[in-house]
Amino acid sequence: MTPLWVLGLMSGTSLDGVDAAMVLTDGVKVLEFGPHAYRPYTELERATIRLSFGQWQGQAGVAAAAEVVEAAHIAMCRQFSGVDLVGFHGQTLAHDPGGRGTHQAGNGAHLARALGLPVVWDFRTADVAAGGQGAPLVPFFHHALARRLGADQPLAILNLGGVGNLTWIDPRQPDPAHPAALLAFDTGPANAPMNDLMLARQGLAQDDGGALALAGVADAEVVTAFLRHRYFHRPPPKSLDRNAFDLLPAVQHLKDADALATLTHCAAAAVRQGAAYFPAPITQLLVAGGGRHNRAMMQALSQDFANVAAIDALGLNGDMLEAQAFAYLAARVQAGLPTSCAQTTGVPKATIGGQLSLP
């Protein structure tokens, strides 16, 4: 397979903005990392998308949200040159595997026409239709990264976006679809409830660096009650919608700092619960996503795991990991290789997600 320069695009449920990153890959190996960029959503764009959370195709506000998502991504793509292929995740508005399915706003065919480039998009629908959870999809990329790093023992990569997802990896297995290579699942809420609380109480997008959470004290009773949720008693693979947990009412009686500290400890406790399902102990926990910048979160994780580090410590870009992942997955779709398997999404057999739209 000929290596391609693929531009991956990601807009997470935390609604901070659009990440874009180029990767040189043949869909098996990650050969080189290229330029990357970030475009924050404006307050108006963020508000327009937020109004459509939980909505499905054709419902009120969805078309407006899709227009915002497509325009932002097209503007981002035009900053890059030398692109052979685009991987476009879109913006998740609703996720209900086993029910209504999964819904990412944004039509890749519109991007293909606007950019004059082939675009792989709609990565989750095929997996859900085949009986999988449709998430998480980044584990195959995590496996490729672990092998690129030369790891020779099991490790885990934790991505902390709006929702947390955890990938256990045995890099000694060359094929990510092998039953012993991976185990992946969503751990629980991560940045989303903290961002929602900051917006509701202080009109700010986030608690920068976890400074306010560090000044607070977690309410142990709220954390204990949170861990009783039936989700934590389901074995993986499993996935979550951004709004599957409604945590803000549980902390409404707390001051801002204590509420944030409590939400932080809920997110970290969810990771600890998830680690109980690992097939074998890990040598390190590498943290990616916006949550790794939250010092309160990293401190909480360090109470439960012996070797915790931001993935940047190994020379990778923790801010761009998901965008890079969808570049890698787009190359796999182009090459006819699977993007999910039973150990990552619960799909009965290895499945190729995504559809290709030509300009």
Domain with CATH 3.30.420.40 in the chain: 4-135+332-357, 139-314
pLDDT of amino acid 80? 98
Could you tell me the mean pLDDT of each successive run of 10 residues in the chain, 359 residues long?
95 88 98 97 96 93 97 97 98 90 96 98 96 91 97 95 93 96 95 95 95 98 97 89 87 98 98 97 94 97 96 93 96 97 95 96
Q: What is the pTM of this model?
A: 0.89
Give the pLDDT of residue 13.
Answer: 74
pLDDT computed for residue 300 by the predictor = 97
Identify the pLDDT of residue 331: 98
pLDDT of residue 95: 87
Which fold is adopted by the domain 139-314? Answer: Nucleotidyltransferase; domain 5 (3.30.420)
The separation between the first and the last C-alpha atoms of the chain, rounded to the nearest angstrom, is 22
Q: pLDDT value at position 136?
A: 85
pLDDT score recorded for residue 169:
98
Which of 3.40.640.10, 3.30.420.40, 1.10.540.10, 3.30.1360.120 would CATH assign to domain 4-135+332-357? Answer: 3.30.420.40
